[in-house]
Chain A
């Protein structure tokens, strides 16, 4: 169990109201850029549908596509490794480095390696890791975890980054100009790229037909690392495989417009063979993915292409910050993926949502995010990970919601939920809730429930 749950952590985050407003507005700004970009594409909804169906198909035939990908990648000269969990993944990476007597590695953004806690593992085994994505480098220097999967240091003010860079990179004290700070990071990381013999990158898409994989970045850090190193290790979850190269047109059109509102990332790099005289390795990682695949209600969370649109639009994420989730992947999709890995530890996350459905509306691969959050709540109560007071009300509500007409519309469901079992919607009346316009609830029963529930939780 977490010492503090999401609601309590949110309260801490909400202690600084100005900062919360800033965080909220910054993310909403990105959401609006996404809207502009998508409204420029008349066939946007067709793209989403196609993306969703290709992913559904890929997951339904994953066994075949994984083997096809392996065969073709091997024929291309890529070495394939399989890891059932994070620990095995980390051991494979360390083994490769040790084989070449490498003690320093440069890494580009990979949420999977965060999930496996690779950095800690390598540091404990004498390997120094430098994260090269600017946002990740910043949180690494601050000894923090990323708070957002696309914008790792979105929670940080430029003044704080200025202080960090003053300490670690020798920038002038008090300077907080993004241009100057980025330039300092560029100089320092350039030296890193030029001196590292091993580079690890993530994978955005892997193509069964050709055995190649695609990495998308704006900074060019994945490529700088990979092309200057002797060994390139690419870590990927097994759900990243899609059938054909031409399917990339669907996903690359969806990905960055959803993420930042750009028409495409600066670099979409297709790695099919190792460069002359170099090694290219791919580690295919399960780490709970087959477990999620076996859950009919939750398997389509594996369609996620990690664009973070659901984060940017989420009223709870925007007003509680990524760290409140205390999980590798925060936000609405993290709240579905994380309980699969550890239901007890992350029992709070499916409750960190207003069930407004905005996440499902923006998701480029049409994951029914808010429905799944609601379903997780039921599973968590049933499995006994919610406190007893919640369970009684949950049963009551289940009855109400058993009527399909009531449940049909998320808004309606949320309202019903609010009336009969408010905790399902807002858990412990955390601070973000106070800033949200929620339907009115009868005051007396609300207060009664609140007092009782609060006591049970304290």
Chain B
């Protein structure tokens, strides 16, 4: 007998009688308005060590990036066509080549008010490492794409096909040394979210 067969057989003979799945309807009711969700999102994003700006166009984003980041002479990569003026697209095939990226600007599908996370999957860009390797990360999310909580978030992706997807909430962080919060553990040191 293979280990697979042994394990599956042991599970079959040990598992208890079938228990029902719970009804989850109550979690999908929301009372907040779109404006409240947006305000909550901004508040949460700040709480988790990131920045959020409401903007009206890409020009404004470019201006803000130029004033917030020291990018002259540094490598800026983006997966947003409208930002070609300040960033290059990533086209290489060996992702180790991304090691020197200072700033990465990425689109996102939607954001979650209760936890400040943005959902990104490979429909937007294929290279998974883009989210993790830059020193600083910028997200762009559409203002009308903010859901109140994770239940609503998973409703949007319940049947979606993706190879990889992630909720990203704030910059990479650790508190492993005496519970002192340090931003920039292995991934980006900062996260800025533009709400367009």
Contact = CB atoms under 8 A, between A and B. Distances in A.
B147 to A, nearest CB: 11
B133 A224 contact: yes
B143 interface: no
B108 interface: no
Instruction: Point out which of B15, B19, B176 has the most chain A C-beta atoms below 10 A from its C-beta.
Output: B176
A286 B165 CA distance: 28
Interface residues of A, number: 88
A63 interface: yes
B42 interface: no
A58 to B, nearest CB: 9
A268 B179 contact: no
Contact of A66 (B8, B151, B162): B8
Interface in A137-156: 138, 151-154, 156
Contacts of B17: 60
B11 A63 contact: yes
Contact of B185 (A154, A219, A253, A299): A219
Contacts of A151: 175-176, 179
B9 to A, nearest CB: 8
B16 A268 contact: no
Interface in A218-269: 218-221, 223-224, 227-228, 238, 243, 245-246, 248-250, 252-253, 260, 262-269
Contacts of B20: 53, 57
B71 interface: no
B2 interface: yes
B95 A88 contact: no
A56 B19 contact: yes
B96 interface: yes
A82 B6 CA distance: 10
B174 A61 contact: no
Contacts of A84: 3, 6-7
Q: List 3 A-B pairs, minimum CB-CB distance, nearest first.
A: A220-B187, A219-B185, A263-B115
29 contacts: A30-B179, A53-B22, A54-B21, A60-B18, A67-B8, A82-B7, A132-B186, A151-B179, A152-B176, A178-B177, A182-B174, A223-B166, A224-B133, A227-B129, A227-B132, A228-B96, A245-B154, A253-B114, A264-B112, A266-B169, A267-B132, A268-B117, A269-B164, A270-B121, A270-B165, A272-B165, A273-B164, A275-B164, A290-B7
Interface of A: 26, 29-30, 43, 46-47, 49-50, 53-54, 56-57, 59-63, 66-67, 76, 82-84, 88, 132-135, 138, 151-154, 156-158, 161, 178-179, 181-183, 186, 189-190, 193-194, 218-221, 223-224, 227-228, 238, 243, 245-246, 248-250, 252-253, 260, 262-276, 284, 286, 290-291, 293-294, 296, 299
Interface of B: 2-4, 6-8, 10-22, 24, 26-27, 44, 48, 95-96, 99, 112, 114-117, 121, 126, 128-129, 131-133, 149-151, 153-155, 157-158, 162-180, 182, 184-188
